Amino acid sequence: MAQLNMVQAINQALGDEMARDDRVMLLGEDVGRDGGVFRVTEGLQDRFGAERVLDTPLSESAIMGAAIGMAAYGLRPVPEIQFMGFTYSAFEQLFAHAARIRSRSRGRYTCPMVVRTPYGGGIKAPELHEESTEAIFCHIPGLRVVVPSGPYTAKGLLLAALRDPDPVLFLEPTRLYRMLREEVPEGDYTIEIGRARVARAGGAVTVIAWGSMLERVLKSLGDIDAEVIDLLTLNPFDVEAVLSSVKKTGRAVIVHEAVKTCGFGAEIAATIAEEAILYLRAPILRVTAPDVPVPLAKLIDQYLPSSEQIHAALEEVLKY
């Protein structure tokens, strides 16, 4: 099996699916000739042609809106929004249309598309290039939100997303793009959307994380007997996996790099409180970024949850 990084794994998934299904088309800013600003789509335009790997004008709302029209027509477009912070100008298309067209038309029109966007902090990039606003997207019924945590999950989840009949927001943690290398099977495999994965089994405390924070959590455990849940899909998140682990350990710590207030950790904590409070031995803790705009490079390391903060939270809940 080949050792791939996440950029290579995503590239492979896109190429394989385009070869398999002529409905799959890529569109976005610089995705073709340039191979994307992170080179995720490198070589795909040479392989599949400029009509299938379409360099668009700098126009996020039109990219998203056009993808909706293409999906309704019967294609499977994969719009790339260059950075998560630039999805904001495409909100109306995503929220008012992509997520609702199936419902609005009672199933006559659907929107099978995968919106790919790099997200998260830690790459020393300019403003709005390190956003982590995934919770906003989870508030929209009709839109699935998926976050891989490494090359293996990236390929399997992306292949599943490309075959999903509904729109999927596929968040690619930029910090991990070239940081991790994993064995990635060359052949076809999918990871079911809506299912979490136990990244590390344990008994004393449940840690729930996703995306780039998973890597940091796994490095922060020390000798703590933690069970680490890699959520993989945020909407719909795997309630059963979270609850069964928390019922076993009696403790829950949620780690995300987004701000605390109304972060997705709040939804998880509320669900645990509603459905498993009698199993808890300690308060549910959240380790998150502070409630301020994402700072630029000089302070990004002080903004993102650190290993020390994660470890301290685990020790805190273990006091109970």
Partner 1 sequence: MSDELLASFEVRRLSVLNELGELDQALMPQLSDADIWRMYEAMVLARTFDERAVALQREGRMGTYPPITGQEAAQVGSAFAFSADDWIFPSFREMGVHLFLGYPIPQLLQYWTGDERAQKVPERLNIFPFCVAVGSQIPQAVGAALAARYRRDPVAAICYFGDGATSKGDFHEGFNMAGVFKLPVVFICQNNQWAISVPLRGQTASATLAQKAIAYGFEGVQVDGNDVFAVYRATQLALDKARSGGGPTFIECLTYRMADHTTADDAGRYRSAEEVVSWRGKDPILRLERFLANRGQWSAEKGGEVKARMTAIIDAAVQEMEAFPAPAPAEMFEDALATLSPRQAEQRKVR
Contact residues toward partner 1 (CB under 8 A) are 25, 51-52, 54, 56-57, 59, 61-62, 64-75, 77, 89, 92-93, 96-97, 101-110, 141-142, 144, 164-166, 194, 236, 239-240
Among the listed residues 121, 82, 116, 276, the one whose alpha carbon sits nearest the alpha carbon of residue 212? 121
Rounded to a whole number of angstroms, the minimum distance from the CB of residue 92 to partner 1 is 6
Rounded to a whole number of angstroms, the minimum distance from the CB of residue 28 to partner 1 is 12
Q: Which is nearer to partner 1, 194 or 202 (CB)?
A: 194
Any alpha helices (H) in 25-150, and if so which ranges? 44-48, 60-73, 91-92, 101-104, 134-138
Rounded to a whole number of angstroms, the minimum distance from the CB of residue 14 to partner 1 is 17
Q: Is 129 designated active site?
A: yes
Q: Which two tokens stand for residue 10?
A: 């995503």
Cβ contacts of 158 within 8 Å, gap of 6 or more: 10, 13, 14, 17, 114, 148, 170
Q: Which is nearer to partner 1, 6 or 71 (CB)?
A: 71
Q: Which is nearer to partner 1, 165 or 290 (CB)?
A: 165
Rounded to a whole number of angstroms, the minimum distance from the CB of residue 274 to partner 1 is 11
Q: Which is nearer to partner 1, 142 or 265 (CB)?
A: 142
Please answer whether residues 43 and 35 qualify as being in contact, where contact means their C-beta atoms are separated by less than 8 angstroms: yes
Q: What angle do CA 280, 284, 288 make, to 5 degrees?
A: 160
Q: Which is nearer to partner 1, 203 or 236 (CB)?
A: 236
Rounded to a whole number of angstroms, the minimum distance from the CB of residue 143 to partner 1 is 9
Instruction: Output the CA–CA distances (angstroms, integers) from residue 284 to 174, 198, 312, 320, in the order listed.
Output: 28, 19, 14, 11
User: How far apart are alpha carbons 32 and 49 in whole angstroms?
Assistant: 9
Please answer whether residues 172 and 195 qualify as being in contact, where contact means their C-beta atoms are separated by less than 8 angstroms: no
Which residue among 97, 129, 139, 256 is the active-site one? 129
Which residues belong to the active site?
Answer: 129
